[in-house]
């Protein structure tokens, strides 16, 4: 009984807190999620949109995007951006495939994530030390990594013949729940915790909001920016592991087209493109929205061209709603 | 005679062609408020930033309690007991009051493991933020609001609160009352007096001569990056100070 009262009070406090510091902007993504889900559920009832297997499908599709989105949320929070995630996915899938064959699934996954860490460190160091915007640095490394991935196996896909790897990172499941979904939940939990409960997360936000002030407060903004870019790359490489696990291959074009989807997911989720504001839960929900749109529009039988148009329109509306400027949202905060 | 709390010697700093500081020396003492005066662009903020570790001076030294230190970063300045309210670098707009007050000073929980990973002790920070602001007589409607949504005066009050809350021995205030209404400005002056009475060394940058005569013991005047005068406030008039600032009058009492 007491517990209930306390939980209620906590919820109320949390709600008050939320509506004070960001207005309703940050709820747009959840509202959009529910509305899109409802619309598809009604329109596509007979096509089995809500069937367990289709929902699982959506979850599997969303998983790598969500993992990348969580990483990207940190890059954006620190007022950087990481355009190299797509090629990092590809390279780590290939590295995983190569390493799994020789050293087993554990080393395979570790090597892939190591690739991510190295890419992120390079992105971060160049951005910070050479003082080039991360937008340009990662545009460059995007090309470089993509080229390396293409050379690695002469544009051929590399099979992964490890049941353990596939079961653990993609094809397997725990009860009815795909391991992809479980990994995504773990990444979400870690990201959310790091952003809201660790000093590091707070320092990332401070650095992204106002680097000069953060520096004047004594933060090592260089190190923080490097670490945020590393988180983004490591997340991308883990997404590469998940894709490799699901498809049982490493290939040079995995993740190639995911960059814009990821950015859309993160921004719909309430993370600012300009730093200082981020939501991990929003990013994951944004990824779910993207996967749901993909799935629903296909089930509706739209041509590919019309799918693209419909998806683009919905994204613009969602982003417009979630990106209202702070000055407008001030009105929400006046009691 | 004890060593000055803070002593700057022969400090120079140039930004490309602009010589923002040239051979400036000054001392500030415990239990005293020293005014740092000068026209716009005289180099006051640059001097403060060099002391606070935000800029690295081209030459010159900073000594604290008689010991010379290289202040290579703002963190070093803090560790040495120097706290600063910068003219416009003080707060992070998107963070709330508590988060700003404890920025880079976060309490952690969970023992040594918690402190290693930086596990925030939010409840303790909220509690102490409330207590600190109350102690300083700063009233803010909501500690959960991003400070960007607060008024200029409230923001200023928080910035000052942050500087004085930590019991540091040297506090540098760059125009702390510029954005404040009459009552809030008086609050700030009260805070400064309280700091002085607590034996803190305060450096106060201001354009308001009334404040100088009200709370300052000594005054240093910069003009075009050079020290134009160093005086005891009770030995000069406001007009003298203005004359030093505009260059109508010069002394060399500083040596
Ligand atoms: N980061 C910088 N880069 C280039 N020039 C600078 C920089 N900071 C200050 N300056 C120049 O140095 C000189 C001194 O500036 P400073 O900000 O120290 O003046 P101030 O005395 O604080 O003036 P105010 O009363 O207007 O705040 C000015 O000419 C200014 O243009
Ligand atoms: Mg100034």
Residue B173 has φ and ψ, to the nearest 5°, of -120, 115
Rounded Cα–Cα distance for residues B85 and A329 (Å): 29
Arithmetic mean of pLDDT, B224-245: 92
- Nearest residue to B32 via CA among B254, B220, B225, B184: B220
* pLDDT value of position B167: 73
Top-confidence residue, B166 or A207: A207
Assign B7 to helix, strand or coil.
strand
Size of interface A-B (CB pairs under 8 A): 81
* pLDDT value of position A312: 87
Q: Looking at chain B, which residue has its C-alpha nearest residue A330?
A: B149
Q: What is the pTM of this model?
A: 0.89
Cβ-based burial of B19 (10 A; exposed 0-12, middle 13-18, buried ≥19): middle
* pLDDT value of position A17: 52
CA distance B72 to chain A (A): 11
- Determine, for residues B144 and A330 on separate chains, whether the beta-carbon distance falls below 8 Å: no
Residue B58 DSSP symbol = S
The answer on pLDDT for A96 being more than 60 is yes
* pLDDT value of position A12: 62
What's the topology of domain A25-324? Answer: ABC transporter involved in vitamin B12 uptake, BtuC (1.10.3470)
- Determine, for residues B108 and A199 on separate chains, whether the beta-carbon distance falls below 8 Å: yes
* pLDDT value of position A335: 33
Rounded Cα–Cα distance for residues A17 and A38 (Å): 29
- Determine, for residues B54 and A216 on separate chains, whether the beta-carbon distance falls below 8 Å: yes
Arithmetic mean of pLDDT, A204-225: 96
Arithmetic mean of pLDDT, B125-145: 89
Instruction: Write down the ipTM of this complex.
Output: 0.88
Mutate which of B44, B176, B223, B225 for ligand 1 pocket (most atoms within 8 A of beta carbon): B44
Residues of A in contact with B117 (CB under 8 A): 198
What percent of chain A is predicted at pLDDT more than 90?
A: 74
- Determine, for residues B144 and A197 on separate chains, whether the beta-carbon distance falls below 8 Å: no
- Determine, for residues B86 and A330 on separate chains, whether the beta-carbon distance falls below 8 Å: no
**Which range among A20-24, A64-68, A244-248, A260-264 shows the weakest confidence by mean pLDDT?**
A20-24
CA distance A124 to chain B (A): 21
Q: Looking at chain B, which residue has its C-alpha nearest residue A14?
A: B144
Ligand nearest to the CA of B49: 1
> Tens digits of per-residue pLDDT, B51-102?
999 999 999 999 999 999 999 999 999 999 999 999 887 799 999 999 999 9
- Determine, for residues B117 and A198 on separate chains, whether the beta-carbon distance falls below 8 Å: yes
Domain residue extents for chain A: 25-324
Query: Across chain B, what does the average pLDDT equal?
Result: 90
Arithmetic mean of pLDDT, B159-181: 84
* pLDDT value of position B155: 86
**Which range among A47-51, A145-149, A155-159, A330-334 shows the weakest confidence by mean pLDDT?**
A330-334
The answer to whether the CB of B36 is under 6 A from ligand 1 is no
**Residue A109, token pair as written in the block:** 């996954």
Nearest CB to B93; choose among A210, A219, A330: A210
The answer on pLDDT for A171 being more than 80 is yes
**Residue B89, token pair as written in the block:** 């670098």
**Which range among A24-28, A127-131, A175-179, A184-188 shows the weakest confidence by mean pLDDT?**
A24-28
The answer on pLDDT for A61 being more than 70 is yes
Assign A285 to helix, strand or coil.
helix
> Tens digits of per-residue pLDDT, A97-115?
999 988 999 999 999 999 9
**Which range among A39-53, A174-188, A191-205, A312-326 shows the weakest confidence by mean pLDDT?**
A312-326
Q: Looking at chain B, which residue has its C-alpha nearest residue A278?
A: B94
**Residue A189, token pair as written in the block:** 């939990």
Arithmetic mean of pLDDT, A233-261: 95
Q: What is the dihedral of CA B71, B73, B79, B83, to 10 degrees?
A: 90
Residue B108, beta-bridge partner list: B120
Arithmetic mean of pLDDT, A265-287: 94
Q: How many residues does chain B have?
A: 255
Arithmetic mean of pLDDT, A230-236: 98
Per-residue pLDDT band at A23 (split at 50, 70, 90): low
Arithmetic mean of pLDDT, B15-29: 94
The answer to whether the CB of B20 is under 6 A from ligand 1 is yes
Rounded Cα–Cα distance for residues B183 and B189 (Å): 10
The answer to whether the CB of B37 is under 6 A from ligand 1 is no
Per-residue pLDDT band at B219 (split at 50, 70, 90): very high
What percent of chain B is predicted at pLDDT more than 90?
A: 68
- Determine, for residues B95 and A213 on separate chains, whether the beta-carbon distance falls below 8 Å: no
Q: Looking at chain A, which residue has its C-alpha nearest residue B107?
A: A199
CB B28 within 8 A of CB B36: no
Interface test with A, best of B104, B117, B174 (most A CBs within 10 A): B104
The answer to whether the CB of B87 is under 6 A from ligand 1 is yes
User: Which domains, from first to last, does chain B contain?
Assistant: 6-93+168-246 (3.40.50.300)
Mutate which of B13, B16, B17, B18 for ligand 1 pocket (most atoms within 8 A of beta carbon): B18
Which residue has its alpha carbon closest to ligand 1 atom 2? B15
């Amino acid at each position: 009984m007491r517990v209930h009262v306390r939980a209620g009070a906590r919820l109320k406090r949390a709600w008050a807190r939320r509506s004070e510091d960001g207005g309703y902007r940050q709820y747009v993504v959840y509202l959009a999620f529910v509305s899109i889900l409802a619309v598809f559920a009604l329109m596509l009832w007979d096509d089995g949109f809500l069937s367990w297997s289709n929902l699982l499908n959506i979850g599997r599709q969303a998983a790598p995007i969500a993992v990348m989105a969580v990483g990207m949320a940190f890059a954006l929070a620190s007022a950087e951006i990481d355009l190299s995630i797509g090629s990092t996915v590809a390279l780590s899938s290939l590295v995983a495939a190569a390493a799994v064959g020789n050293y087993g699934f554990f080393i395979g996954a570790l090597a892939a994530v190591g690739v991510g860490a190295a890419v992120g460190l390079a992105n971060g160091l160049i951005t910070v030390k050479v003082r080039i915007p991360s937008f340009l640095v990662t545009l460059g490394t995007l090309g470089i990594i993509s080229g390396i991935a293409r050379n690695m196996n002469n544009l051929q896909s590399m099979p992964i013949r490890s049941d353990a790897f596939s079961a653990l990172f993609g094809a397997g499941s725990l009860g009815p729940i795909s391991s992809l979904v479980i990994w995504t939940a773990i990444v979400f939990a870690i990201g959310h915790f790091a952003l809201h409960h660790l000093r590091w997360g707070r320092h990332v936000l401070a650095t992204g909001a106002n680097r000069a002030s953060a520096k004047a407060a004594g933060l090592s903004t260089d190190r923080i920016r490097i670490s945020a870019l590393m988180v983004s790359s490591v997340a991308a490489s883990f997404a590469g592991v998940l894709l490799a696990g699901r498809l049982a291959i490493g290939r040079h074009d995995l993740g190639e087209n995911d960059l814009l989807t990821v950015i859309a997911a993160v921004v719909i989720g309430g993370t600012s493109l300009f730093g200082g504001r981020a939501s991990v839960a929003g990013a994951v929900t944004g990824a779910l929205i993207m996967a749901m749109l993909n799935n629903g529009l296909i089930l509706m039988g739209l041509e590919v061209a019309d799918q693209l148009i419909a998806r683009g329109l919905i994204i613009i509306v969602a982003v417009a709603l979630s990106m209202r400027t702070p000055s407008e949202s001030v009105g929400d905060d006046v009691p | 005679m004890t060593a000055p709390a803070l002593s700057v010697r022969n400090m120079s700093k140039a930004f490309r062609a602009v010589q923002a500081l040239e051979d400036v020396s000054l001392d500030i003492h415990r239990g005293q408020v020293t005014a740092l005066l000068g026209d716009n662009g005289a180099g006051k903020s640059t001097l403060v930033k060099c002391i606070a570790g935000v800029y690295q001076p081209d030459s010159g030294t900073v000594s604290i309690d008689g010991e010379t230190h290289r202040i290579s970063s703002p963190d070093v300045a803090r560790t040495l007991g120097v706290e600063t309210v910068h003219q416009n670098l003080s707060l992070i707009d998107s963070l709330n009051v508590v988060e700003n007050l404890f920025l880079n000073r976060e309490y952690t929980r969970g023992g040594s493991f918690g402190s290693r990973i930086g596990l925030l002790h939010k409840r303790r920070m909220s509690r102490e933020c409330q207590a600190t602001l109350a102690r300083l007589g700063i009233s803010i409607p909501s500690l959960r609001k991003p400070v960007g949504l607060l008024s200029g005066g409230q923001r200023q009050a928080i910035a000052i609160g942050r500087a004085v809350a930590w019991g540091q021995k040297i506090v540098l205030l760059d125009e702390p009352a510029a954005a404040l209404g009459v009552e809030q400005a008086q609050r700030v002056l009260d805070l400064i007096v309280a700091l002085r009475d607590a034996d803190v060394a305060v450096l106060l940058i201001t354009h308001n001569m009334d404040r100088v005569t009200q709370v300052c013991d000594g005054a240093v005047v910069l003009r075009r990056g050079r020290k134009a005068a160093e005086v005891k406030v009770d030995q000069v008039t406001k007009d003298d100070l203005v004359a030093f600032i505009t260059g109508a009058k010069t002394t060399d009492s500083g040596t």
